[in-house]
């Protein structure tokens, strides 16, 4: 199964323009033969809001224009699409949400549970575990950006049967030593190998209101090595990689070890 990660250049506040950028990326992925497309976090709205009021004007319902368009594209191209938007909740609450859409429609929505920096002023944190959805291309789990830095959260997805963990992200560029990969990529690699799952993290490129994005999109295999990426460039990119979900369904390391069964559940 060909999977893809679509690193995008987006503009905060430009709902119509961003939808078009995402649509073109989804169509390009489909044309390349991909059956799964992962888009960035808050791909509909952009990320660096001035305040909660602005974020509210850029939020959508889960039957709004973004999800509706992605549902149409998933059905038209026989795709699974995972991507992020600002979700309008009840009573003025906003959520940093990612959706899983397949040809049958909206399969799951997930609200980011670990909020980063200024998000704490804007979004409510989700209270539900990362969903794991049976699709035609495998069991798809989803979480958002900083969620991936919590090994406990990744473990829950793996224990729930995830084959492919899809992680829409917006990684602000952090300083790092020359010749080192972004720390976020390292942690995505470790998340994959400690659970023997695939991880697809899709980042952004460009600069938004002074925040430069890392452009570190990557597709990681269950051994923890990149199949495609990290992009490591400040430009849009479409990563493609062949994924065999059977590789994520054995957790064995040799004859006597198993990354899940070897946990000392008597001790933690």
Q: Among residues 64 and 224, whose Cβ is nearest to a second copy? A: 224
Residue 41 known to be catalytic: yes
Q: How far is the CB of 104 from a second copy (least distance, A)?
A: 29
Q: Which residue has the tokens 């990969």?
A: 181
* Residue 112 annotated in active site: yes
User: Binding marks (x or -) toward a second copy, 208..227, rule CB under 8 A?
Assistant: ---------------xxxx-
Q: Judged by CB under 8 A, which stretch of 3-11, 75-83, 188-196, 238-246 contacts a second copy? A: 188-196
CB-CB contact of 229 with 219 (8 Å): yes
Positions 47 through 106 that interact with a second copy (CB under 8 A): none
Handedness of CA 25, 26, 30, 31 (dihedral sign): negative
- What whole-number distance in Å separates Cα of residue 158 and Cα of residue 165? 8
Does the footprint of a second copy cover residue 161 (CB under 8 A)? no
Question: According to CB under 8 A, which one of 64, 89, 161, 183 is a site residue for a second copy?
Answer: 183
Q: x/- string (CB under 8 A) for a second copy, residues 121-160?
A: ----x-x-x----------------x--xxxxx-xx----
**CB burial class (10 A; 0-12, 13-18, 19+) of residue 103?**
middle
Q: Report the first-to-last Cα separation within the chain, whole angstroms.
A: 36
Q: Which of 210, 129, 217, 123 is nearest to 170 (CA)?
A: 217
Angle between helices 15-31 and 65-77 (to 10 degrees): 10
Residue that the structure tokens 């509706």 belong to: 68
Tell me the β-bridge partners of 29.
Answer: none
Nearer to a second copy, 71 or 259 (CB): 259
Residue 268 is a binding residue for a second copy (CB under 8 A) = yes
Annotated active-site positions, please? 41, 112, 145
Residues contributing to the site for a second copy (CB under 8 A): 113-114, 116-118, 120, 125, 127, 129, 146, 149-153, 155-156, 176-177, 180, 183, 186-187, 189-191, 193-194, 223-226, 254-257, 259, 262-264, 266-268
């Amino acid at each position: 199964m060909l999977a893809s990660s679509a690193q995008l250049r987006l503009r905060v506040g430009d709902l119509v323009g961003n939808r078009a950028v995402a649509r073109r990326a989804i169509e390009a992925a489909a044309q390349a033969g991909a059956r799964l497309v992962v888009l960035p976090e808050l791909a509909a709205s952009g990320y660096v809001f001035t305040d909660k009021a602005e974020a509210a004007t850029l939020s959508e319902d889960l039957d709004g224009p973004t999800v509706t368009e992605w549902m149409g594209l998933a059905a038209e191209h026989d795709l699974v699409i995972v991507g992020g938007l600002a979700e309008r909740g009840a009573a003025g609450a906003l959520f940093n949400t990612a959706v899983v859409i397949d040809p049958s429609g909206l399969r799951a929505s997930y609200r980011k549970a670990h909020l980063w920096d200024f998000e704490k002023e804007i979004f409510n944190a989700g209270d539900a575990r990362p969903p794991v959805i049976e699709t035609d291309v495998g069991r798809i789990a989803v979480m958002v950006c900083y969620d991936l830095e919590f090994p406990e959260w990744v473990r829950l997805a793996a224990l729930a049967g995830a084959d492919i963990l899809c992680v829409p992200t917006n990684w602000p560029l952090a300083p790092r030593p020359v010749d080192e990969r972004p720390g976020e990529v390292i942690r995505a690699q470790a998340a994959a190998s400690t659970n023997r799952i695939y991880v697809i993290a899709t980042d952004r490129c460009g600069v938004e209101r002074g925040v430069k994005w890392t452009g570190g999109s990557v597709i990681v295999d269950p051994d923890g090595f990149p199949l495609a990426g990290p992009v490591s460039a400040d430009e849009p990119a479409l990563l493609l990689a062949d994924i065999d979900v059977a590789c994520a369904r054995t957790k064995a390391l040799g004859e006597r070890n198993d990354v899940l069964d070897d946990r000392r559940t008597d001790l933690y």
